[in-house]
Amino acid sequence: MFEAFSLPFFQRGLAEILLLAIPCGLIGSWVVLRGLAFHSHAVGTATFPGLVLADGLGFAAALGAFGAAALFTLLTVAIARSRRTGADSVTALALAACLAGGVILASDVFNSGANVDTLLFGSLLAIGSGDLWLAAVVAGLAVVASFFVGQHWLARGFDEGASRALRSDSALFDAALLTVVAATVVATLSAVGALLVSTLIVVPAATARLFTARLSTLLTAATLLVAAEGVFGLWLSVQTNAPPGATIAVTSGAAFALALGARTISRRGMWRAAAVAAALLALAGFGAGCGSQSSGGDGPKVVATTTQVGDFVAEIGGDQVDLSTILKPNTDPHEYEPRPSDVQAVADADIIFRSGGHLDDWTEDLIKDSGSDAEVVDLSTHLPVRLFGEEEHDHEGEAHEDEGHEAGGEEFDPHWWQDPVNVRFAAARIESTLSDANPAASAYYQGRLRRFDNQIRNLTRQTKSCVRRVPAGDRKIVTDHDAFAYFTNRFGIETVGTVIPALTTEAQPSAGDLADLEATIRRENVKAIFPEESVSPALSEALAKDTGATTEYSLYGDTLGPAGSDGETWLGSMKSNVNAVVAGMSGGKVTCFGGQDG
């Protein structure tokens, strides 16, 4: 039950949360006393554009976050002072502006996705030494500021009218408080992310305030509460294999509810009802656990990052690998947050197979943070076909003009497995890696590779002949994700624009993009629109309604399907995609694969 405490990544998470308890507890108490709860939440969100800028321009994330937080604070204070508007409405306005600015920067300026995401959500399982240093420095800052300026924060908060006579009304004291709040928020980002900072800063202090009547007890209780909730939440996340940030948020929320309930009960003498409720809660808590999973095979311990790579390793390794796949079916790889079992699996792994590119670039952090010394194989590096992302295309409907043109500086398109030829190479590489690691099973791996390779070649041959049955002029599709360039490139199909004109599902399309696309669909007489499985189909449906093209078929893009679905394996997902594309292009007249063939 407590073996997790011996894992290095867990210990770093523990150290981080214990360090953060100091600034979060101290400054959180002041935030609550001075009515800055909404402000601190807003500062957390306001770091978003700073993080995007730091990611896009390549400077330290903490610097970007602090810059944005400081700018946000200055702006709200200045506006609230000059206009005598309610500080809350100014904060809300600036908050919305920062979020919008971040989205525009992320989707239209830098086309960045995954990196910003990990920062927006943060993780106690991915704490580096830089994060620890930042937390330690901010903890020191919080202690020093509370010690030397705290008396003025208290006097001014308690009685603003008298604060001038007590010389506590200096704007510098308030500036110091807001600065430390911003620093605390920035330090907390890496643990729980921008959207959940208040769970460590505001909620524990608000809980402590319910049952403390002196400042010193409040400061102590809030600090201890952050530490307790953080450690408990982290431990619980390992037990339940849930993301730690969210687990801590739920823990601190529950603690607040319990404290509020206990206070109400002790004032009304409802002890019996309280005991029953507490017993029920405890039962519910212990029933919620669930374990981590691996294939349990013999042979080397192997981690695969994506569902496709996991499937390839399973095809080659069979029961002679102990395989853990990090991404779950139907999870958008861009929205991945590491879970305790993932870090554990990476820490224990002998070999890690990566899909490569921006789809799983979080792997590097995961490997570094887990202390793993596994051999890392990036399958995307040695492939016969490597495509690169489109340049900012101003000419609608000609999205494929630069396909296959490998100009330097363009982003590698990581969806290489949509081309079966690439998969044959990747499979061979997996076989040789596994054989090197486990020579005893080499013949077994080679036998499975031959079988898999045959299946891939059959699939390719059948798909080509099937696509040829669709009239050449009809071989056009619209899909809402640029994931299918390898597929269409291999089989001579034209992609007429994409609903989301960027490589990641993070980006949002503009109204102009959509209007251009609708015009193109009408002009080119496109018959089918394909929403990708893991992306919300609402956009595609809106387009279909306007243009009359069908959206009844869907494609497997970034992820395979869950167990039992057509797309459970890569072969299955490819057949399903081919069927859908061909049926869509031919108006349902052509089908390629029946239920059982292969």
CB of 176 to another protein, least distance (A): 11
Give me the 145-174 binding string for another protein, x by CB under 8 A, dash otherwise. Answer: --xxxxxx-xx-xxx-xx-xxxxx-x----
What is the dihedral sign for C-alpha 495, 398, 497, 421?
positive
Site size toward another protein, by CB under 8 A: 27
Minimum CB distance to another protein smaller for 214 or for 395: 214
Among positions 11, 212, 331, 547, the unique one binding another protein when judged by CB under 8 A:
212
Q: Give Cα 554 to chain centroid, integer Å.
A: 24
CB of 75 to another protein, least distance (A): 23
Cβ contacts of 585 within 8 Å, gap of 6 or more: 470, 474, 475, 476, 477, 493, 527, 528
Burial 147-174 (b: 16+ CB within 10 A, else e): eebbebbebbbeeeeebeeeebbeeebb
Decide if 320 contacts 341 (C-beta within 8 A).
no
CB of 150 to another protein, least distance (A): 8
From the list 433, 412, 114, 128, the residue with the least C-alpha distance to 303 is 433
Q: How far apart are CA 416 and CA 422, in angstroms?
A: 6
CB of 156 to another protein, least distance (A): 10
Minimum CB distance to another protein smaller for 216 or for 596: 216
CA geometry: angle at 364 spanning 320 and 376, to 5°? 35
* Of 210-218, 443-451, 533-541, 548-556: span binding another protein (CB under 8 A): 210-218
Among positions 214, 267, 272, 395, the unique one binding another protein when judged by CB under 8 A:
214
Minimum CB distance to another protein smaller for 210 or for 290: 210
Minimum CB distance to another protein smaller for 157 or for 509: 157
CB of 73 to another protein, least distance (A): 22
Among positions 11, 15, 18, 33, the unique one binding another protein when judged by CB under 8 A:
33
Q: How far apart are CA 591 and CA 589, in angstroms?
A: 7
Minimum CB distance to another protein smaller for 134 or for 201: 201
CB of 211 to another protein, least distance (A): 10
What is the dihedral sign for C-alpha 249, 371, 128, 304?
negative
Q: How far apart are CA 564 and CA 100, in angstroms?
A: 40
Question: 193 phi and psi, to 5 degrees?
Answer: 90, 165
Minimum CB distance to another protein smaller for 152 or for 334: 152
Minimum CB distance to another protein smaller for 213 or for 511: 213
The torsion of the CA quartet 366, 372, 373, 376, rounded to 10 degrees, works out to: -30
CB of 86 to another protein, least distance (A): 16
Minimum CB distance to another protein smaller for 157 or for 371: 157
CB of 43 to another protein, least distance (A): 23
CB of 264 to another protein, least distance (A): 16
Residue pointed to by tokens 């790889």:
333
Among positions 215, 228, 262, 385, the unique one binding another protein when judged by CB under 8 A:
215
CB of 172 to another protein, least distance (A): 9
Minimum CB distance to another protein smaller for 170 or for 565: 170
CB of 154 to another protein, least distance (A): 7
Residue pointed to by tokens 């809660």:
281
Q: Give Cα 357 to chain centroid, integer Å.
A: 15
Minimum CB distance to another protein smaller for 157 or for 261: 157
Q: Is 450 in the site for another protein (CB under 8 A)?
A: no
Q: Give Cα 1 to chain centroid, integer Å.
A: 28
From the list 281, 211, 276, 199, the residue with the least C-alpha distance to 243 is 199
From the list 174, 239, 224, the residue with the least C-alpha distance to 20 is 224
**Can you tell me whether residue 531 is helix, strand or coil?**
coil
Minimum CB distance to another protein smaller for 13 or for 150: 150
Between residue 169 and residue 198, which ones bind another protein under the rule CB under 8 A?
Answer: 170
Among positions 213, 407, 511, 563, the unique one binding another protein when judged by CB under 8 A:
213
- In this structure, the strands spanning 375-378 and 529-530 are unpaired
CB of 165 to another protein, least distance (A): 5
Among positions 85, 89, 129, 217, the unique one binding another protein when judged by CB under 8 A:
217
CA distances from 437 to 66, 301, 318 (A): 46, 10, 15
Burial of 28 by CB count in 10 Å (0-12 exposed, 13-18 middle, 19+ buried)? buried
Minimum CB distance to another protein smaller for 59 or for 148: 148
From the list 218, 416, 405, the residue with the least C-alpha distance to 312 is 416
* Of 1-9, 71-79, 212-220, 227-235: span binding another protein (CB under 8 A): 212-220
Burial 364-381 (b: 16+ CB within 10 A, else e): ebbbebbebebebbbbbe
Minimum CB distance to another protein smaller for 209 or for 448: 209
CB of 162 to another protein, least distance (A): 5
Give me the 385-414 binding string for another protein, x by CB under 8 A, dash otherwise. Answer: ------------------------------
Please give the residue ranges that form the binding site for another protein (CB under 8 A): 33, 147-152, 154-155, 157-159, 161-162, 164-168, 170, 209, 212-215, 217-218
